[in-house]
Every structure is written in C-alpha cells, then in structure tokens.
Structure 1
Amino acid sequence: MKLFYYIVALLLLTSCSTARMTDTWVNKEYTNYQPKKVLIVGLTDNLIARKMFEEQLKTELINRGIDAVESYDVFKPTFTSLKQTEEDIEKEVKRISNQGFDAILISAVKGIDEKVSYSGDTYRRDYYWRRFGRYYYLVQDVYLIEGYYNEYEIYHIEASLYNLKENNDKSLVWVASYDIVDPKRINTTVTNYVTAIIKSLEEKRLINENYMP
C-alpha cells in the first residue's frame, strides 16, 4: 500500500511537467495584426533544446500560413555565443529586417526555482481520518521510505513577439510567462511549451487557428 501511494505521488508530479501559462499581455494597438515572416529565437545554452524548440515552432507557424525561420540559420554562431552590445544587436536587427523579417519571437528562461515536494500530500490533503492510528499509519512513510521528499525544479520561461517595423517602445506585440515543472524529457517539454505558445497566439488572434492554403 505504501508503495502504491509513493508511485501515485510520483505520477502526479510528473503529470505537472506541462507548460502552464502564468501571465500574458497583448498590445492593444496591434488590432488585426499578424506577422508575415518571423524569426524564431530560443535563447538557451542547451543547443539541442534550442534547435528542437525553433524547429517545432517553425513548423506550427508555417502550418498557419506564416513564413518562419530558425535563428541558427540566420544568426552567426558568435552572435549567440558572445555577449553583444546594444549597438551590435541593433545592427543585427537591421540586417534581418532588410532580409524581409517583420517580427521576432524570442523565448528565454527568466529563472529557476528549486522546490521540494512532500509525497504524502497527494492523499492527505483532506482530513477524513480522525483516529491517531490511521494518521500515524499514513505519515510513517516520511521516515520509512527513502526519497519520500522529492526535489524538483520549476523553470520560469518568457516568450515575446516583437514587431520589427516599429523600432520604439511600442514594438512589443505580445508577451507570455510560463512555468514548466521538473522537465525530464526535452522532446516532451518542448512540444508542450510550443503548444502553449501557439494556443496563446491563436487566442489573441495574432496567428490563424486553421490555415487553409
């Protein structure tokens, strides 16, 4: 029985690893705005995750009638591997704008929180038991089961869409914040995150829900 509760707790923790949007904002000045050619930027030192993110988001945008390109096909390797000045960044923005890009969608990890979960919470949240014996039977797992407390991480990620045709404080079109709990598998995590971004962009009518070529 104790093993059963422990397995259930781990499954519940794993099931929370999808991307959950915590906040979003859209510029009201961009009514009926939809980008035509988007540069996708995954700002992370994990090259595998970056490549997967940019490729998956590119596919989703293309399926909705938007020309999308991965940043690693546009930026020079030194641009993302070295710290750039604001002047260097502006020069690069001008260069890609001259290539026909009218928007940039960038994603970046804003922070990571380390957490500790208590496995017993999943079945002790409601206090149905009123006898000491029943209570002790449940809580004894705390010191009898190794790893009863589980350490995990929450990634705080932000995605933003910028209009390259507006080189001012009004260039931000849309921004959303997401929490990803204890990502284990890169492929699953990226897919869930891309799905969440697409859903938000569709809800804000910044991209088409069902594109018919």
Structure 2
Amino acid sequence: MTGSWRNESYREYTPKKVLIIGVTPNLTAQRMFEDKLANEFRSRGVLASTSTLIFPERFIENKQSEAQIQEEIQNLLDRKFDAILVSAVKGIDERQAYSEGYAKTDYYWRRFRGYYFVYQDIYYNPGYYEKYKVYHIESSLFSLNEESGESSLVWVANFDMVDPQDLGSSVNDYVESMVKALEKEGILVSKGN
C-alpha cells in the first residue's frame, strides 16, 4: 500500500452488505479477485457478493451513462446493499533495475576508479538492466445511502503490484494487503475478533 485516505464522517463505518467490483478486461483476474475478497468479507461476518453475479452482462460490455449507473445503484439499494468496494488498475509503469549479478564490497565505492570499474559494464553487457512493470491499483469503498440513493466515499487506498508473474499468487497478495489495510482502518474486523 502506497497511501490511503479515510473520510472522517465515516470513522465508525462498517459495511453490512458489500458489492465487490474488480475493473479489468481480464475476466479471469476479475473473478479471482472478486471471489477472494468477497470470501474475506464473509469470513468476517459481512455479506458480500461479486459484480459478476450481480451486474447484467450488458453493464460491463457497454459503456454506461450516469443515469444507467444510478439505476444500478438503485437496484443495489433495493437488494439492501449498503456498500460498494471497487478496485481498478490506474496505471502501469515500466521500470529498469540495475542487475550486476554479484555483490560488490564496500571497497569499490571509496574511489572513482573502483566505482567506474564496477559500473562500466553498462556499456558492454546488454543484460545489465532488468525491465519490470509496476501496476498502480486504486481501491475505493463507497457507502450507499438508502434514503438519498447517493453514494459517499468512505475510504480509498493505492497499492503498487510489482511485476506480477502468477495471477493466483498476485491476486492473493493484493487481497491480503487490502484486507490488512481495511482491518487497520476498522472497516473490517480481524478474523481473530
């Protein structure tokens, strides 16, 4: 987690029935994420459902107007949902890391000669830098107000996922990080309580 914000007006807020939404074109990743996070909520006594079960297919397949989105919010309110938690990839950075392949002793850093000797490989070794991706993910929890039909932002957090290689373990790590953050904020109770 790289940062978070909590709405002070909702300091004591805990959801009772939440809809989990993963915004991604990768439907396998979406289902894995939504199912895993919904199970974490359920294991803590919160009713939880996934967008893949609640939203009609047309909701994802076509761009929705604000009026259509409000109609879906009303459908959620009619079903007694009081919260929506949505996660979306907000950006991807490609980065490079220095990869020398062996450790250098402190001696090399004391003089220019040693320093330059170590790093001159950048000119001669094409594998000197290793490329990797960092996914920036934002998760937001909204409270649904049954009386007004409006939603309010309760909590938002940003996470960085570094070079995910295995979908299953990446989803598990992300959900685990999110659950810890929600527990720290008091939005979710820990399993031990």
Length-normalised TM-score, structure 1: 0.81
**Deviation larger for 64-73 or 132-141:** 132-141
Within a 5 Å distance, the mapping from 1:99-138 to structure 2 comes to 99-120=79-100, 123=103, 128-130=108-110, 134-135=114-115, 138=118
Amino acid at match of 2:170: T
Q: Deviations over 1:183-211 (max 9, x none)?
A: 11111111111011101110110111136
The whole-number CA distance in structure 2 between the counterparts of 1:195 and 1:27 is: 22
Give the direction of change, closer, same or farther, for the CA distance of 1:126–1:44 in structure 2 (3 Å limit). Answer: farther
Q: Secondary structure at the match of 1:29?
A: helix
- Tell me which of 38, 50, 58 is aligned to 2:18: 38
CA contact (8 A) 2:107 2:114 kept: no
Matched, 1:90 2:34: no
Give how far 1:118 is off: 1.7
Q: Which residue of 1 aligns with 2:130?
A: 150
User: C-alpha displacement at 1:97, in angstroms?
Assistant: 1.4
Aligned in 2, Cα 1:95/1:122: closer, same or farther, shift over 3 Å? farther
Matching of residue 188 in structure 1 with residue 169 in structure 2: yes
One-letter code aligned to 2:82: D
Contact 1:64 1:211 in 2 (8 A): no
Q: Percent identity?
A: 46
Extract unaligned runs of 5+ from structure 1: 1-20
Aligned with residue 54 of structure 1, among 34, 44, 47: 34
2:160 paired residue number = 179
Q: TM-score, normalised by structure 2?
A: 0.88
Q: CA distance change for structure 1 residues 121 and 171 in 2, over 3 Å: closer, same or farther?
A: farther
Q: 1:127 to 1:87 in 2, by over 3 A?
A: farther
Cα gap change, 1:92 to 1:139, in 2 (>3 Å):
same
Q: What letter corresponds to residue 176 of structure 1 in structure 2?
A: A
Going from structure 1 to structure 2, the CA distance change for 1:39 and 1:192 (only over 3 Å counts) comes to: same
Q: 1:162 to 1:118 in 2, by over 3 A?
A: same
Cα displacement string for residues 56-107 of structure 1 (whole angstroms, at most 9, x for unaligned residues): 1011111111111111000111211211100000001101111111100000
The CA deviation at 1:172 is 0.6
SS at match of 2:176: helix
RMSD across aligned positions (CA): 2.4
Judging changes above 3 Å, is the alpha-carbon distance between structure 1 residues 26 and 124 closer, same or farther for their aligned structure 2 residues?
A: farther
Amino acid at match of 2:171: V
CA contact (8 A) 1:43 1:106 kept: yes
Structure 1 residues 125 and 109, CA gap change in structure 2 (3 angstroms):
farther
Counterparts of 1:113 and 1:53 in 2: how far apart (Å)?
A: 21
Contact 1:40 1:68 in 2 (8 A): yes
